[in-house]
Amino acid sequence: MRLRIGTRGSALALWQAEHVKARLAALGQAADVVPITTTGDRLLDRRLELVGGKGAFLKEIEEALLDERVDIAVHSLKDVPTALPPGLHLAAFLERADPRDALVSASGARLAQLPKGARLGTTSLRRQAQIRAQRADLEVLDLRGNVDTRLRKVREGQYDAILLAAAGLARLGRAAEATEILEPDVMLPAPGQGAIVIECRAGDERSARAIAPLDHHATGRCVLAERSFLAGLGGGCNVPLGAYAEESGHEVWLRALVARADGSLVLRGECRDSDAAAAGRRLAEDLLARGAAALVHPA
C-alpha cells in the first residue's frame, strides 16, 4: 500500500515531504504527498501567539492524521508543541541538518557590522530577544511569510537584514544567500531546529514499520533533551527561549536560555547528562529557580 504524507503547502514543507517520500522510495515504500492548508498559513498577517502559537501550523494536518485521511505527517520539529493530541506520537526523527540561524543582509554586512538603526526582520521572539540583548541599537521588526517572501522583502529594501533558519535556506537551494551563519553562542537555536520529524497514529504499526529505518538515533537523543527542557518550562509558552543539545561522548551537552522579549534579561544555563530527558528537566529546573519562572508565568 502507498503511504499518504500530510504536509503544509509551503515550498519548504513540500521539500521536506518530498525528501521523506524519496527516502521511503529508496526503501521500496511508495508514498504520495498530500498538501494541507493550516491556520498558520492562512493568517500570515497576525503574530503566531495570537493564532495558536506554532501549533497553528499543525492543527489541520493532525486532524487529517486522526481522521485517517493521511497516514503520516512530516513537520519541522521546531514547530511541534511538546503536548501532542491523544492518539498521535512522534515516530521518527531524520538526521538533523544545520541547526543554526542565518543572517541575510541587503548590504552584505554581518551582524556586528550592521549600522545603528538598521531594520532587522524576524517574528521569532527567541531571535528578537537575543538580538536586542546584543544590538539594542537596531530596529527589530516583525516579519512573517515563507522563505521566498522574506528574502524578497530584504532585496526590496523593506528590511536591512533578516534572520532565517540556515537549514531552510539550504533545503531550498538558497544557502549562498546567507550573509552570516550565527553560532549557538551568538544566537541559540530553537528546540528542534534543523530536524524533520514524522508523526504517526498510535497503533498504526504498518506506517511505523515503514518509517522506522529513517529514524536517526543521535538526533532523537539530542532533540529529546531540548524538548524535555521546553516541557519542563511548561510546554509551548510564548516567551523567548532557546535550547540546543549536542552529543559529547556518552553524554548530551545541553545549552538553553529564557529571556525577556526586550532583551533586558537573558538567563542562560547548560548541563551534561547521559540521560537526555533528565538533562532537559534539570536545566529547566535550574533556570526556573534562577528567575525564569517569573518570565514563563508572569504575575
What's the rounded mean pLDDT across residues 233-254?
Answer: 89
Task: Residue 242: name the closest of 276, 208, 292, 198 by CA.
Answer: 292
Would you call 79 a catalytic residue per the annotation? yes
Interval 47-89: pLDDT, tens = 444 444 556 779 899 999 999 999 999 999 999 999 999 999 9
The answer, yes or no, to whether residue 45 has pLDDT greater than 90, is no
Choose the weakest-confidence range: 38-42, 91-95, 260-264: 38-42
Spell out the CATH class of 3-94+195-215: alpha beta
The answer for residues whose C-beta is within 8 angstroms of residue 186's C-beta and 6 or more apart is 111, 130, 134
Q: Do 74 and 5 meet the contact criterion of CB atoms below 8 Å apart?
A: yes
Spatial separation of the C-alpha atoms in residues 226 and 127, rounded to whole Å? 17
Spell out the CATH class of 101-182: alpha beta
What's the rounded mean pLDDT across residues 161-173?
Answer: 97
Q: Which of 32, 67, 71, 79 is catalytic?
A: 79
SS3 label, residue 5: strand
- Which three cell numbers, joined as nine digits, stand for 234? 511548561
CATH number of 226-294: 3.30.160.40
Q: How confident is the model at residue 166 (pLDDT cuts 50, 70, 90)?
A: very high
Interval 265-287: pLDDT, tens = 999 999 999 999 999 999 999 99
Element (H, E) at 269: strand 266-273
Domains 3-94+195-215 and 101-182 alike in fold: yes
Spell out the domain ranges in the chain: 3-94+195-215, 101-182, 226-294
Q: How confident is the model at residue 41 (pLDDT cuts 50, 70, 90)?
A: low
What's the rounded mean pLDDT across residues 156-172?
Answer: 96
pTM for this model (two decimals):
0.92
